[in-house]
Amino acid sequence: MTDIIPDAMLDFIDVGEGLSARRIAVRRRRGQGPGLVWLGGFKSDMQGSKALALDAWARDHGRAMVRFDYSGHGESGGDFADGTIGRWLEEASRCSSGFATARRS
Per residue in 26-85, pLDDT (tens digit) is: 998 888 888 889 998 877 888 889 999 999 999 999 998 999 999 988 888 888 888 888
Domain locations in the chain as residue ranges: 7-104
Residue in 11, 22, 43 with CA at minimum distance from that of residue 90: 22
**Contact between residue 100 and residue 71 where contact means Cβ atoms under 8 Å apart:** no
> 7-104 in CATH: which number?
3.40.50.1820
Residue type for 49, please? S
**Residues sharing a CB contact under 8 Å with residue 88, sequence separation 6 or more, in sequence order:** 70, 71
Residue in 1, 2, 3 with CA at minimum distance from that of residue 29: 3
Phi, psi of 92 (to 5 degrees): -65, -40
